[in-house]
Amino acid sequence: MKKFYVASSFRNIEQVRSISGQLKNKGYVQTYDWTDNSRASTIKDLRDIGEKERIAVKDADFIIVLLPAGKGSHIELGIALGQGKPIFLHSPDDKVMNFETTSTFYHVSGVEIVIGTTDRLFEKLEEENYI
């Protein structure tokens, strides 16, 4: 069974939960659900959460990054890139293609940019035989 991880910011928590729920309903395994956490209040909390997220990215077969994303999500993107994991970068609009504000690493090999609705994200996952 394929395993996945969804990276994003607390601003997108409901969207992360929705996408994760849909994938789990299809039989996929979520390597870690960071949305169950409250915001970290100590360095120890940050360390514990960071270790769980690092392991979750390592254990996943593919990664979904939902924009806009926070600094932790971008580190998770880097970990996934370094491990050669397939990454699906979802942006609700085409700001991801704005040369002045986009990230270099959004456009490297292994990153599939998906612009539009989450339905479009699921279509792309299906087209690429991930679901």
User: What are the extents of the domains in the chain?
Assistant: 3-127
What is the distance between the alpha carbons of residues 65 and 17, in angstroms, rounded to a whole number?
A: 13
Q: Tens of pLDDT along 72-81?
A: 999 999 999 9
Q: Using alpha carbons, list the distances in angstroms from residue 13 to 10, 68, 78, 99, 118.
A: 5, 11, 21, 27, 14
Handedness of CA 72, 76, 79, 81 (dihedral sign): negative
Q: Tens of pLDDT along 74-123?
A: 999 999 999 999 999 999 999 999 999 999 999 999 999 999 999 999 99
Task: Kindly report the CATH number that applies to the domain delimited by 3-127.
Answer: 3.40.50.450
